Structure 1
Amino acid sequence: MRRLLNCAANATKALRTKCLDLSPFKMKSHPLVLCSASFQGDSVCNGAHSKKALLSDPQLFDAQFDELLSELTERDMNDSGLTDALKRLKEIMVYNVPGGKKNRGLSVIGSLRELLPPSQLTQDSVQQALLIGWCIEMLQAFFLMADDIMDASVTRRGQPCWYKRDGIGLDAINDSLLVEASIYRLLRRHCRNQPYYVHLLELFNETTFQTELGQALDLMTAPPGQIDLNRFTMERYKTIVKYKTAFYSFYLPVAAAMYMAGVDSEEEHTNARHILLEMGEFFQIQDDYLDCFGDPAVTGKIGTDIQDNKCSWLVVKALEVLSPEQRSQLEVRFKSLFFCLSQIYISI
């Protein structure tokens, strides 16, 4: 159990650091927070004599993207008739995949370093962990590209959403599917001879299904133009967060590393899942706060939760303490005025 605590703490430290830097919420001292040091300064292969051994995990991770991009768009298919489509795939990948903090992807190698002794952490296993990390970043890009269309978002990571670019529009739906399909091409090519390959496929498929269920619940809770604040309960909020965010953002990277390390017992995965889903909920609460009160210059996006009628933590908590008059005001103005919830929340 202690190994799982260390793994969860280190694999997600970058996420926690980002949250604490941007948000007024402060995490209290806790064994999870005070565990071992961050993985980000570790070098590849624990002393392997090569130039790569001098690079940190984030540097190795960035270098790996160029390699997999070349593989997918230049060496994967040899049909000359697909030249334009592969060029489009390259543009999609470059624009949508590497622009984030990469915390989910880096959590794979960070977790693997916690789970394997140095003698077992070979250069091949490091490279596979980096590639699996990029597959998670690609899964994230697939989700976000589709989510931006459904939410009619304007910006993502400090630039226009992909579907908002000239000439893209709803073609972005197929573009997002290309990104998702590329995940399984990479996993098959690089991992199918590994004993954990089937576990990885099941993990990615199950996580995708869980996330899409969470997205469906989110959309059903707040259909466009239909205001029903009775749907905005803490139970519903926690379920949306668990399935839409926590599974793929927190459990997926650590679970992938566990399978790579040969940790495949249901008990250990259940223990890790419990810890990581709690951390995912904490992360989402801060994200909801930043959607309303965060500076777009810092967060990289313009928040739309209020005008999108989203079941966010702010409105759920506000509904628990609003007076009847304030609730009535919120029901009338929730959809039309972006600043309404901000003003009410500040006043209570």
Structure 2
Amino acid sequence: MEGEKDGRERFREVYQVLKMELLQDPAFEYDHVSRQWLHQMLDYNVPAGKMNRGLSVIESYRLLNDGKQIPEDAIFRAFVLGWCIQWLVGCVLVLDDILDSSHTRRGQPCWFRLPKVGMIAVNDGILLWNHIHRILRKHFRDQPYYADLLDLFNEVEFQTACGEMIDLITTLEGEKDLLKYTPTLHRRISQYKTAYGTFYLPFACALLMLGEKLNDYDDVKDILLEMGIYFQVQDDYLDCFGDPEKSGKIGSDIEDFKCSWLVVKALEVSNEEQKKLLLDNYGKADPANVGAVKSLYEDLNLQGIFVEYEIDVYEKLTISIEALPGKAVQAVLKSYMSKIFKRQK
């Protein structure tokens, strides 16, 4: 089996192939300016970050093959599906950064913050979304699972957009109500906004390539969604307590009145006086208000509560994974867990 470094290099090579195919689209045949814009936009937003979601398709496909020889064309298609997921990630992040008025992403300014970009980024996000189905049509139309693949991406795209909607409408001016922020609401946002696209989609892509039926793996899907909720809790924690130098992003959940795991947990464990302090300061951009919330989080020992939560979730997920039939499936899920447990970015 090729090393991780070689796999990442091959993955990047496939990105270059897909990018050139898109740049050669007839829409840009006589338009050098548009082609150059697309070239820069793709390079800025798609092959960035750790790329774990996309690489998980290849890893899952190999592990589920359980040591069997894989034809080169099948490996290439697995890489392509990995990039389709990275295109979806790029699309969601471009649009999410606009909606959240974020400043940095992956250690650099958000795409829309670049002087020449601004709100053109909205259309760029739509382009990224549409690219996914152009790539799928070109490389999978002759495959027996093409229709199932389209259904899968359509469903996950819809679920992600629904998660974003639920996340955003809770922060509307005039309708902000911190007491609505319950564990149930947080789980719902996390499942739709994060879990389907980050954990279920890569595994499901590998299953379809192997000719499997997704409905036969509902028990695995449940575990993957729990993993995704845990991943979002980590994101919420790192937004406040993480190191921006490591995460590449300056957190803003407090200022943005987000339904974060931290504020949900704070509401659970605070007394009436602490709850009033939270209600008075949460969702305000003034550094004094943000500082008051962070100080309360520390007084409530949310860092310690998070450490206990993380260990508890890891142990429960490990038990659930080891109860599954099939060592190959277990190997995939354990690999996913190893990448996220106690992550710092």
* TM-score when normalising by structure 2: 0.82
> Contact 1:89 / 1:178 at 8 angstroms: preserved in 2?
no
Partner of 2:293: 341
RCO higher in structure (CA 8 A, sep ≥6): 1
Cα deviation digits, residues 260-293 of structure 1 (max 9, x gap): 011115122x122111001111111111100001
> Contact 1:250 / 1:276 at 8 angstroms: preserved in 2?
yes
Query: CA 1:119–1:321 in structure 2 vs 1: closer, same or farther (change >3 Å)?
Result: closer
| Deviation of the 1:81 alpha carbon | 3.2
> Contact 1:149 / 1:163 at 8 angstroms: preserved in 2?
yes
Any stretches of 5+ residues in structure 1 without a counterpart?
Answer: 1-41, 45-53
Cα deviation digits, residues 119-146 of structure 1 (max 9, x gap): 4511111000001101100100100100
Partner of 2:17: 67
2:54 to 105, 116, 133: 105
Query: CA 1:105–1:235 in structure 2 vs 1: closer, same or farther (change >3 Å)?
Result: same
Cα deviation digits, residues 178-233 of structure 1 (max 9, x gap): 11111111111111101111111111110000011011111112224643111100
Aligned equivalents of 1:88, 1:223: Cα separation in 2 = 34
One-letter amino acid of the counterpart of residue 294, structure 2: S
Counterpart check, 1:187 vs 2:136: yes
- Which secondary structure does the structure 1 equivalent of 2:119 belong to? helix
Partner of 2:240: 292
2:40 to 72, 91, 110: 91
One-letter amino acid of the counterpart of residue 76, structure 1: D
- Which secondary structure does the structure 2 equivalent of 1:169 belong to? coil
2:250 to 294, 302, 315: 302
Aligned equivalents of 1:78, 1:317: Cα separation in 2 = 50
One-letter amino acid of the counterpart of residue 160, structure 1: P
Partner of 1:211: 160
> Contact 2:28 / 2:34 at 8 angstroms: preserved in 1?
no
Partner of 2:63: 114
> Contact 2:204 / 2:214 at 8 angstroms: preserved in 1?
no
Partner of 2:215: 266
> Contact 1:326 / 1:344 at 8 angstroms: preserved in 2?
yes
- Which secondary structure does the structure 2 equivalent of 1:308 belong to? coil
> Contact 1:333 / 1:340 at 8 angstroms: preserved in 2?
yes
Counterpart check, 1:57 vs 2:16: no
Runs of 4+ in 1 over 3 A off after TM superposition: 78-82, 117-120, 224-227
Partner of 1:43: 2
> Contact 2:106 / 2:249 at 8 angstroms: preserved in 1?
yes
Query: CA 1:232–1:129 in structure 2 vs 1: closer, same or farther (change >3 Å)?
Result: same
Aligned equivalents of 1:199, 1:55: Cα separation in 2 = 31
> Contact 2:28 / 2:35 at 8 angstroms: preserved in 1?
no
| Deviation of the 1:334 alpha carbon | 1.1
| Deviation of the 1:65 alpha carbon | 1.2
Cα deviation digits, residues 1-50 of structure 1 (max 9, x gap): xxxxxxxxxxxxxxxxxxxxxxxxxxxxxxxxxxxxxxxxx329xxxxxx
Q: Give the RMSD, CA atoms, in angstroms.
A: 1.6
| Deviation of the 1:330 alpha carbon | 1.0
Aligned equivalents of 2:68, 2:282: Cα separation in 1 = 58
Partner of 2:332: none
| Deviation of the 1:105 alpha carbon | 0.1
Partner of 1:39: none
Partner of 2:323: none
Counterpart check, 1:168 vs 2:117: yes
Partner of 1:5: none
Partner of 1:133: 82
> Contact 1:104 / 1:136 at 8 angstroms: preserved in 2?
yes
| Deviation of the 1:58 alpha carbon | 1.6
2:228 to 266, 269, 280: 280
Query: CA 1:265–1:142 in structure 2 vs 1: closer, same or farther (change >3 Å)?
Result: closer
Aligned equivalents of 1:149, 1:232: Cα separation in 2 = 23
| Deviation of the 1:342 alpha carbon | 1.5
* TM-score when normalising by structure 1: 0.82
Aligned equivalents of 1:241, 1:79: Cα separation in 2 = 38
Q: Figure out how many residues of one structure are paired with residues of the other and give that number.
A: 296
Partner of 1:242: 191
| Deviation of the 1:55 alpha carbon | 6.6
